[in-house]
Amino acid sequence: MMDIRPPRTDPVPDPLRVRRYRQAPERGPRLLFFSGGSALEGLSRRLQRYSHNTIHLVTPFDSGGSSATLRDAFGMPALGDLRSRLMALADEAVPDHPRICRLFSHRLPMEAAPEELRATLEALVSGRHALVADLTPALRRPLCRQLGAFRAAMPATFDLRGACIGNLILAGGYLANHQQLDPMVRQAAELVRVRGTVRAVVDHDYHLAATLADGRRVLGQHRITGKEVPPLDTPIARIDLSASGEAHVPVTAALPEDSRRLIATADLICYPPGSFYSSVLANLLPAGVGRAIRDTPCPKVFIPNPGHDPEQLGQDLPGLVSALLETLRRDTGEDCPTAALLDVILIDSRHGDYVGQLDADSLAELGVTLLDIPLVSERSAPHFDDDLLVAALMSLA
Q: What span, in angstroms and rounded, lies between the C-alpha atoms of 202 and 188?
A: 17
Q: Is-contact 21 53, C-beta < 8 A?
A: no
How remote is the C-alpha of 268 from its chain's centroid?
16
Domain boundaries, the chain: 15-59+203-396, 68-73+91-194
Cα-Cα end-to-end distance for the chain: 19
Q: Could you say which residues of the chain have pLDDT below 70?
A: 1-9
Q: pLDDT of 262-309, one tens digit each?
A: 999 999 999 999 999 999 999 999 999 999 999 999 999 999 999 889
Cα–Cα distance, 118 to 96 (Å, whole number): 26
Q: What is the pLDDT of residues 170-187, one digit of tens each?
A: 999 999 999 999 999 999
pLDDT in tens, 119-138: 999 999 999 999 999 999 99
The pLDDT value recorded for residue 46 is 95
pLDDT at 279: 94
User: DSSP of 6-66, one letter per residue?
Assistant: PPP-S-SS-HHHHHHHHH-GGG---EEEEE-TTTTHHHHHHHTTT-S--EEEE-----SHH
HSE-CB for 361 with a 13 A CA cutoff: 0
pLDDT at 1: 42
Q: Which one, of 240, 234, 227, 231, lies nearest residue 212 by Cα?
A: 234
Residue 3's pLDDT is what?
47
Return the pLDDT at 9: 61
- pTM score of the predicted model: 0.95
* Class (C level, CATH) for 15-59+203-396: alpha beta
pLDDT at 19 (0 to 100): 96
The residue type at 32: L
